[in-house]
């Protein structure tokens, strides 16, 4: 337990809060002090007309307060200072409670009656059939939030602002936890509005902390609404929330609050307001902006009517302005929700007939509904339309789950093989056609497609190569891997790493040499660096060839490894590689001299391994003579080798 002194209070609360609390104590603002065990209670006169209720724990040096800050505030400091300096002023409640045991029932009732007369509001704490009472000054809290978010919050100041808002949110969280949901909801709503104000004034929320806080407040607000049955209270909030929803365009999900307050009594007002705003948007906005607004508005209203269990109203709104493909998709979705499958399918087909860009949602809905229809009414699903929709859908991207649904539909109408044939021959997106073959396990056809169609992506060729390797088709896998390398592939993350090792092992030296020539001609340094270490054991001369062509792109450590391996059979070739890289580094900058010295050490090791120490001495002296103008380099060489 920390000793309670002015010093420890200042350390715990900070200088700013401590000195404010000291002013309150010196100003005689701490009243009606009581002690119960290790807990202290008092009323502290603050900025509010009503004194704040303050509690403190002597043992833990922790305070709680009814002020907007809620805990560890200046009012708590004032209470602790009062205890340090005037402990005798505190009434010992423990002694009083013990004295109650000796009193009669009538005496105790008399005491309670006197307490209630002095503070009538206390009866609300014990009255069973009580309404939720105001426990906060929402105007004061809103004002504080406004002060926190006022002005432009830049990247460096926004975290402090978020921290201050979180302190206020913690007040609401405590209120919600103890069932004071209206008070909590009022604070959550004020925080949402404050977050919007911050965005409007240019807050830099690039890390997303403020947005996350506001979205959580929306969620917490709705949790409060679930526990509140007071329809009049929800109606009082309606106009404020509608205004927030209309103004907010920052992705803060404020429209979700309408789900918390919607009732049978106010849904018409919500619809009237939102559709009126939509009509205003149509007069002033571009077609795209209006379409976007319409989708959001109708989706929201349909969801609200859905929550109230009104399917007829959902359908009425879903049919609002059927002019675009998006409108037909909206209606089809609602019809599907209401299990009106045939009508939904007919709606989708009408939407597909409209001109304009493809809408993926309609394509997916077509097969979702067709899958349901083929079970009882397959004659409603015709092959030609289905094929057209399928080819359009997979021309964008291939999705395994959608592909299985599509196959099920064509199987149900007796056209599966014809459909699969059309996918192979007519699908514009050849990668999607390839993925369909792989998904169906038709590996040989996939390999043939790669070899005959140059437009297949490298990433997909790797997938085919991996599938071939897994089927023990090592030769085919190696061929496909070489094709990717010839294109300049330079990434050996799995599964490419395994494919490269398998390819090197399966390919003869002549084939690998042709690959090296192709890579050198193309200038693919990244590909070369992938292959050089893999060729060292099987064909070190090919590692040397690639190293010579890409010497400047290689890490020095790799040059050293290649030179050492090449030198086993051809010492002068190993020396030549080192000298080539040394010349490159020397010409680049003096900052590379350390690399040059490192490579000179490799040359020395090569000569000495062959018993040619004299040749090394001759080499290093000639090197020093050629570079005598580079004094720093010569000093480093002399220090390392001592023969210059």
Distances (CA, A) of 595 to 556, 557, 638: 7, 9, 15
Q: Which of 80, 72, 88, 96 lies closest to 39 in space, CA to CA? A: 80
Measured CA distances, 52 to 38, 41, 172 (Å): 20, 11, 17
Domain range enclosing 89: 6-126
Domain assignment present for residue 401? The answer is no
- pLDDT value at position 62? 87
pLDDT of 128 strictly over 50: no
- Any residues with CB less than 8 A from the CB of 382 and at least 6 apart, and which? 413
Closest by CA position to 90, among listed 33, 25, 159, 160? 33
- Contact assessment for residue 526 and residue 484, using Cβ atoms and an 8 Å cutoff: no
Domain count, the chain: 2
In this prediction, residue 299 has a pLDDT band, given cuts at 50, 70 and 90, of very high
Distance (Å, whole) CA 475 – CA 481 = 10
Q: Which residues does residue 92 pair with via DSSP β-bridges, in sequence order? A: 35
- Per-residue pLDDT band for 123 (boundaries 50, 70, 90) equals low
Q: Does 318 map to a domain?
A: no
Q: Residue 451: pLDDT above 90? A: yes
Q: Which two tokens stand for residue 470?
A: 């897994």
Instruction: Indicate the SS3 state at residue 118.
Output: helix
What band does 440 get if pLDDT is binned at 50, 70 and 90?
A: very high
**Using omega within 30 degrees of 0 as the cis cutoff, is the peptide bond preceding 495 cis?**
yes
> To 5 degrees, how large is the angle CA 523–CA 529–CA 531?
100
Answer whether residue 364 is part of any domain.
Answer: no
What is the sign, positive or negative, of the torsion defined by CA atoms of 186, 187, 193, 196? negative
Q: Is the pLDDT score of 130 beyond 50?
A: no
Instruction: Write out pLDDT tens, residues 562-595.
Output: 999 999 999 999 999 999 999 988 777 888 899 9
| 635 found inside a domain | yes
Neighbouring CB atoms inside 10 A of 403's CB total 20
Domain assignment of residue 264, yes or no: no
Longest dimension (CA), the chain: 118
Contacts of 87 (CB under 8 A, 6+ apart): none
Q: What is the pLDDT of residue 590?
A: 86
| Distance (Å, whole) CA 613 – CA 617 | 6
Least confident of 37-51, 396-410, 441-455: 37-51
Would you say residue 317 has pLDDT above 60? yes
What integer best gives the mean pLDDT of the chain?
Answer: 91
Single out the residue in 110, 126, 142 at which a domain terminates: 126
Mean pLDDT within 327-354: 97
Q: How much is the pLDDT for 285?
A: 62
> Does residue 287 lie in a domain region?
no
Whole-number pLDDT of residue 543: 93
- pLDDT tier for residue 129 given thresholds of 50, 70 and 90: very low
Residue 220 C-alpha from the chain's centroid: 21
Instruction: Return all residues near 254 (Cβ < 8 A) that are at least 6 apart.
Output: 192, 196, 214, 218, 241, 244, 245, 248
Q: Which residue among 59, 93, 126 closes a domain?
A: 126
DSSP classification of residue 379: G
What is the reported pLDDT for 148?
Answer: 93
Cα Rg of the chain (Å, integer) = 39
Asked if the structure places residue 510 within a domain, the reply is no
Note whether residue 569 is domain-resident. yes
Q: How does residue 134 score in pLDDT terms, banded at 50, 70 and 90?
A: low
Q: Where a domain ends, among 60, 92, 126?
A: 126
- Residue 167 scores a pLDDT above 60: yes
């Amino acid at each position: 337990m920390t000793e309670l002194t002015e010093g420890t209070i200042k350390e715990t609360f900070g200088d700013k809060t401590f000195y404010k609390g000291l002013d309150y104590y010196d100003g005689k603002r701490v009243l009606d002090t009581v002690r119960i065990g290790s807990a202290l209670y008092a009323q502290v006169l603050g900025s509010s007309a009503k004194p704040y209720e303050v509690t403190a724990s002597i043992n833990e040096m922790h305070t709680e307060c009814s002020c907007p800050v809620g805990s560890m505030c200046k009012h708590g400091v004032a209470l602790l200072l009062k205890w340090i300096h005037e402990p005798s002023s505190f009434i010992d409640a423990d002694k009083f409670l013990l004295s109650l045991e000796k009193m009669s029932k009538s005496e105790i009732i008399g005491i309670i009656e006197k307490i209630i007369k002095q503070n009538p509001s206390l009866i609300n704490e014990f009255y069973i059939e009580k309404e939720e009472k105001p426990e906060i000054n929402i105007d004061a809290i809103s004002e504080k939030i406004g002060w926190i978010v006022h002005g432009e919050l830049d990247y460096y100041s926004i975290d402090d602002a978020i921290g201050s808002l979180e302190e206020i949110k913690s007040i609401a969280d405590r209120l919600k936890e103890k069932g004071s949901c209206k008070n909590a909801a009022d604070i959550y709503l004020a925080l949402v509005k404050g977050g919007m104000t911050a965005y409007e004034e240019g807050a830099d929320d690039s890390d997303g902390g403020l947005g996350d806080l506001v979205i959580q407040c929306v969620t917490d607000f709705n949790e409060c609404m679930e526990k509140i049955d007071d329809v009049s209270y929800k109606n009082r909030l309606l106009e404020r929330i509608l205004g927030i929803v209309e103004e907010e365009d920052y992705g803060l999900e404020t429209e979700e609050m309408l789900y918390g307050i919607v009732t049978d009594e106010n849904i018409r007002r919500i619809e009237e307001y939102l559709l009126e705003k939509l009509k205003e948007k149509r007069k002033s906005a571009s077609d795209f902006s209006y379409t976007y607004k319409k989708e959001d508005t109708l989706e929201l209203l349909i969801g609200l009517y859905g929550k109230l269990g009104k399917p007829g109203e959902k359908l009425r709104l879903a049919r609002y302005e059927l002019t675009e493909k998006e409108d037909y998709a909206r209606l089809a979705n609602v019809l599907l929700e209401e299990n009106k499958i045939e009508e939904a399918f007919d709606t989708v087909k009408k939407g597909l007939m409209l001109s304009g860009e493809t809408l993926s949602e309609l394509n997916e809905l077509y097969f979702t509904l067709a899958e349901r229809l083929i079970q009882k009414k397959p004659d409603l699903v015709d092959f030609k339309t289905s094929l057209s929709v399928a080819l359009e859908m997979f021309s964008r991207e291939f999705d395994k789950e959608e592909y299985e649904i599509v196959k099920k539909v064509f199987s149900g109408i007796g056209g599966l093989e014809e459909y699969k044939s059309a996918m192979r021959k007519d699908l514009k997106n050849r990668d999607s056609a390839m993925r369909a073959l792989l998904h169906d396990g038709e590996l040989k056809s996939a390999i043939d497609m790669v070899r005959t169609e140059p437009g297949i992506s490298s990433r997909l060729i790797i997938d085919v190569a991996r599938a071939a390797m897994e089927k023990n088709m090592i030769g085919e896998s190696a061929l496909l891997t070489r094709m990717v390398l010839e294109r300049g592939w330079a990434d050996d993350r799995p599964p490419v790493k395994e494919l490269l090792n398998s390819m090197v092992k399966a390919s003869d030296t002549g084939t690998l040499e042709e690959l090296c020539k192709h890579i050198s001609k193309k200038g693919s340094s990244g590909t070369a660096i992938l292959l050089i270490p893999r060729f060292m054991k099987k064909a070190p001369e090919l590692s040397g060839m690639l190293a010579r062509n890409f010497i400047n792109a290689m890490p020095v450590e790799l040059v050293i490894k290649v030179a050492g391996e090449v030198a086993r059979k051809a010492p002068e070739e190993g020396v030549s590689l080192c000298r080539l890289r040394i010349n490159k580094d020397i010409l680049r900058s003096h900052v590379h001299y350390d690399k040059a010295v490192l490579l000179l050490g490799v040359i020395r090791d090569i000569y000495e391994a062959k018993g040619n120490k004299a040749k090394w001495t001759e080499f290093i002296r000639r090197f020093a003579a050629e570079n005598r103008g580079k004094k720093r380099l010569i000093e480093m060489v002399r220090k390392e080798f001592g023969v210059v």
